[in-house]
Chains A and B, each alone.
Chain A
Amino acid sequence: MKPRPKSPGWNVLGLLPAQLIMLLTLIIPVGIIVLVSFSTRGPYGGFDFVFTTAPYKQILFNEGWTGELEFNPQYLIVVGRTLVLSLVTTAICTVLSFPVAYFISLQRASVKMMLIYLVTLPFWVSMIVRVYSWIIILGNDGVIAKALRALGLVDNMGSLLFTDTAMLVGLVYSYIPLMILPVFASIEKLDSALVEASHDLYGSRLTTLRRVILPLCKPGMMAGAILVFVPCLGAVLEPTLLGGGKTMMMGNLIQLQFGAARNWPLGAAISIVLMSAVLIFLMWRGLQAVRREGREGDV
C-alpha cells in the first residue's frame, strides 16, 4: 500500500499557539513601531498618525525655519560610535574568551561543569546591578582610583567613569559569557585526534593552534560574535550608567527620543534603521553559511 501524501490540512492549526505568540509579541509591536516612525510628532510626546517621512529625514538633516534641509551629523556620530564600540567589544570578547574556553575544556568533567556554571552565573543577577557595580569600581572614589592613589602611582587621575573606555569595559563584561559558551562548545567538539595529527606532522604548539584549532573553532567564534555584536548595537544600560549619558549609543539615543526628547517618531525611525541593519547583517551571514554548506555538501 502506497502511503497517501500528507496534505498540511488542519495540521497547520497545531502551529497556531506559536504563531499567535509571534504575532502578538513580534509582528504587531514591530508594525506599531513602523507606523510610529512614519507619523507626526505629538505636541506632548506620543504621536499623531499623519503620514510623513520627516522622522527618517531628521536622522540625517536638520529642518531650518524655512523648511530647507541642513545636514546634521550628530546622529550619525552616535551610529558610528555604536558600530565602533560594538566591533571593538566583539573583538575583545573573542580574544579573551578563547583562552578561557580552552582552559575550561581541558578540565575534568566535574570541574568543567562547575566552571561553565560560573560563566553563566552573572545572568542570575540583574543586569542593572551588575553594570552599576562597575561605577563603584571605576568611579572617582572607586576601587581602582583608591588603589592607585594609595600606591602613590597616580596623584590625581582623571575620572575613569563616563568615558568610552568605561562603556567598553561594561560592554565586554556584560556580553563575554555569550562568547565563551559557543567557543567552548566548538572546542569541545574538536576531535583531539586532529590536534595529535598536527603534532605528529611536525606542527609545533603554535602551528597547531594557528592552523588547526583556531580554524576549526571559527564557527563557534562567529556564532559568539553575532551573539555579542547584535545586543551591543542596542545596548542601553552601559552607555547610560557608565557613559553617563554624555556619550551616547544608539540604544540610549532611542530611549532619549521616547523619553525626555518626546520625539517618538524619530525614536521609532532610528529603531527601524537599527533593526534593518541587524537583519541585513544576519541575512548576509546566513546566506554565506548556506552557500558554504552547498559547496561542501556535494559528493
Chain B
Amino acid sequence: MDMNCSLQQKKAVEIKGVSKAFGTYQALKPVTFDIYENEFFTLLGPSGCGKTTLLRMIAGFEQPSTGEISLRGSNIQGQPPHRRRVNTVFQSYALFPHMTLEQNVAFGLENLGWAKDKREARVADMLRLVHMDKLAARKPQQLSGGQRQRIALARALAPEPEVLLLDEPLSALDLKLRQAMRDELRTLQRQTGITFVFVTHDQEEALDMSDRICVLGDGEIQQLGTPADVYEEPSNRFVADFIGETNFLDAEVISVDSERATVSIPFGMTLSVPHKGAVAGGKAVMSIRPEKINLPSQDGQISVDGTIVSANYLGGYTHYVVETGGTQLRVSKRNSVSRDRMLEIGRPITVSFAAESPRVLGA
C-alpha cells in the first residue's frame, strides 16, 4: 500500500450496523461503511431511501435504533448534536433571521468560546471565502437563494468541523445557479480539505461532485463506489435504473466463470460479458447505456437491425428509440457535426454496440 493510499484510508466517519426504525416503519436497515478524510462523499437515493435519516444520525438529531457511529475513531453514540464536531448545511439553510450575516457565521464560534479577535478574523475569512464579505451587515431575508446558501456554508465551515454534512443544499436553487454552486462546492471542499457528506436525490449532481457515492434504496445500500463504478458497473437493476438512463434486456445465463458470463440475448445471439453475481442457467437482466449504442452501426461490433420509432432533438444529443423485433432500444447520439441531419421516424436502421458494453445484473 503506497503512502497516498494510506492517507486516503484514514477514516473520518465509521458507520457500524446502523439502522433506524420509526415505530414499525424501518427507515434504514442496518448499514456498515466508512467515510474517509478529505473525501467528497455522497449519499444518493430517491426520497424515502433513508439518506437524510442517516445524515441526521451523524449530526445527532436522531438516535440509531441499532449500531454505532464513530467520528475520527471515537464513538459518538449518545453525544448531543452540540458536542459533535460536525456541522450541517440545512436544506432550508436555517439561517437565524434575527441576526446579521456576520452574527450568523460567528454563532458557532461564540458557542465554542473563541476569543473575540480570533473569531472576527475567522468570520471575515469565511465571508471572503464565499464572496459575501461586502454584505456582512445584512440580514438573511435581504438575500437571494444563492447568497443564503453561501452564508449557510460559511456558517457551517467556520468552526472547522471534522465533517461537514450537506442535506440537499442545492435543491432550492434554480438550474443555472445549481450548476454554478456545484463547482463552487467542489472547489470549497478541495480548498478547505474538510470531509463533505452530501445528501442528494439528483444522480447528476452526485456523479459530478463526488469522490465516492453510496447509492441507497429501500433503506439499504445498493452500491458504494466511485461515480464511474456506479455508472459503468451498476451492481443491480436498481442502481442501473436510478443512475443515468439505460436499456434493460432480458437474458438467459448459459455459463459463468469468475469474471465473465455467457448469456443469450433477445437478438438471437450469445455474448460473453462482464458480470456481477449471475448464476448459470438462471435468468438475468442486462443493461446497456444509450450512449454506448452506435447509430449508424460500426464495423466489428455486435449489430442489430431495427426501425426508428421516435426521435427527440436535445441540442447536444439526439435521443432515438429503435424498435428491434420486440425490444425497444434507447439510443443517444451525439450531434458532433454541425446541423447533423436527424434520422426520420420509420426508417430502417442498423445499430451496434461493443461486446464489452453490456453488463449482466442479477435478475
Binding site for B on A (CB under 8 A): 191, 193-194, 196-204, 207, 211-212, 215-216, 296, 298-299
Q: Would B94 and A194 count as touching, CB distance under 8 A?
A: yes
Task: State whether A191 touches B108 (Cβ < 8 A).
Answer: no
Does B98 sit at the interface, judged by CB under 8 A? yes
Q: How far is the CA of A215 from the CA of B99 in the complex (A)?
A: 10
Q: A191-B92, A193-B90, A215-B98 are in contact. Are A200 and B81 (CB under 8 A)?
A: yes
Contact (Cβ within 8 A) B159 A296: no
A-binding residues in B (CB < 8 A): 59-61, 80-83, 86-88, 90-92, 94-98, 107-108, 111-112, 139, 141-143, 155-156, 159
- Residue from the set A196, A201, A299 with the largest chain B CB neighbour count within 10 Å: A201
Q: Which 4 A-B pairs have the closest CB atoms?
A: A201-B108, A202-B111, A193-B94, A197-B94
Q: Are B81 and A193 in contact (CB under 8 A)?
A: no
Cα-based distance from A204 to B83 in the complex (angstroms)? 9
Contact of A200 with B82 in the complex, beta carbons under 8 Å: yes
A-side contacts of B94, CB under 8 Å: 191, 193-194, 196-197
CA distance A202 to B96 in the complex (A): 14
Q: Which residue on B lies nearest to A295, using beta carbons?
A: B139
CA distance A199 to B61 in the complex (A): 9
Of B60, B96, B112, B143, the residue contacting A212 (CB under 8 A) is B96
| Beta-carbon nearest neighbor of A199 in chain B | B81
Kindly state the separation between the CA atoms of A196 and B60 in the bound complex, as whole angstroms: 10
**New A-B contacts (15) at CB < 8 Å, excluding given A200-B81, A202-B83, A296-B141:** A191-B94, A196-B61, A196-B81, A196-B88, A196-B94, A197-B95, A199-B60, A201-B82, A201-B159, A202-B108, A202-B111, A202-B112, A207-B111, A216-B97, A299-B142
Of the listed residues B96, B97, B156, the one surrounded by the most CB atoms of chain A closer than 10 A to its CB is B96
- Give chain A nearest CB distance to B206 CB in angstroms: 23
Quote the shortest CB–CB distance from A115 to chain B (angstroms). 24
How far is A277 from B156 in the complex, measured between Cα atoms in Å? Answer: 48
Contact check: which of A193, A203, A207, A216 meets B98 at CB < 8 Å?
Answer: A216
CA distance in complex: A218, B320 (Å): 60
- Cross-chain contact A296 with B107 (CB below 8 angstroms): no
| Contact of A197 with B90 at beta-carbon distance under 8 Å, contacts A202-B108, A296-B142 already known | yes
